[in-house]
Amino acid sequence: MKPNKTYSLAYSSCPNDTFIFKAIAGQLIDLQGYAFDIVLEDVETLNQNAAKGAYDITKLSFAAFGSLMDKYALLRTGSALGMGCGPLIISNPGRSLDDKARPVIAVPGLGTTAYHLFKFYMDDLFKGQDMQVMPMPFEKVMPAVMENKADFGVIIHEGRFVYQNMGLELKADLGQWWEDKTSLPIPLGCIAVKRDMDPKVVCTIQQLIRQSIDHAFLNPAMAYDYIKTHAQELDEDVIQQHIELYVNDFSKDIGKNGEAAIITFFEKAWASGLIENSRMPLFAC
């Protein structure tokens, strides 16, 4: 059957995204006559491409979405929110965040939720600390610290599970700080759609993503080869930890608690001057 229309769908190579979208990518569920041109990139590249309007449906960091509300609206499925899953600040042994004037901080992109949380944290506990922020792809953050190109690094994704194996030390858990401050889950990544898409199509696609998540949980082995092909960290235990941490009930439906977390996050970002306030509705459906 000829598809109704083909839409560009972009998400990251991280195990949580490939787990979520495997059933759509592999056409393992009924796609309701729709077809998708799928692109996999790191999140910061997705953020930058979305600023150009590159994709119809795309994974974004919540931080980037905050600056793109004129172009994109949120879906209620496919997001990464949760407790105990935030970015970490790491360093070589024996360092502290205030032990040097103007330390170099490696971050996984300025448009990432990780950087926003880092900024909130520093403004709260180290206000006035001068820093040199060095953005780079997330997989290069730990090597930059290990090679002393950066004093500290903000790590995400699989890095949470392997930094100790590389001789690095935890300096701060940004997710724990957020939870202590707000008692809300951490809004990390979202799925967004262009605002000019047909609302009926958007709601159908939202349902397909939910079905794809359900399929993945019911048939986890069917997703494994696809996940491992794209994962930065190939250790099976690390991949499974990653999925368990980032794919949860909030991925199926953001819900009221998730909405409260997102609104609080944007309020802090507006207050910090990281994004401009927007009156556009958050959700497409």
Catalytic residue among 157, 215, 230, 242: 157
Contact 158, 62 (CB under 8 A): no
Does residue 140 have a known ligand-binding role? no
3-state secondary structure of 35: strand
Q: Is 157 a catalytic residue?
A: yes
What is the C-alpha to C-alpha distance for residues 193 and 79, in angstroms, rounded to an integer? 13
Does residue 114 have a known ligand-binding role? yes
CA 224 to chain centre: 20
Does residue 113 have a known ligand-binding role? yes
Does residue 172 have a known ligand-binding role? no
In this structure, the number of other CB atoms found within 10 A of the CB of residue 264 comes to 16
How distant, in Å, are the alpha carbons of 9, 51, 162, 241 from that of 145? 33, 29, 14, 24
User: In degrees to the nearest 10, what's the CA dihedral of 78, 156, 81, 86?
Assistant: 180
What is the C-alpha to C-alpha distance for residues 220 and 19, in angstroms, rounded to an integer? 8
Does residue 168 have a known ligand-binding role? no
Give the amino acid at 226. Y
Give the residue numbers of the binding site: 59-61, 113-114
Give the residue numbers of the binding site for substrate: 59-61, 113-114
Catalytic residues: 157
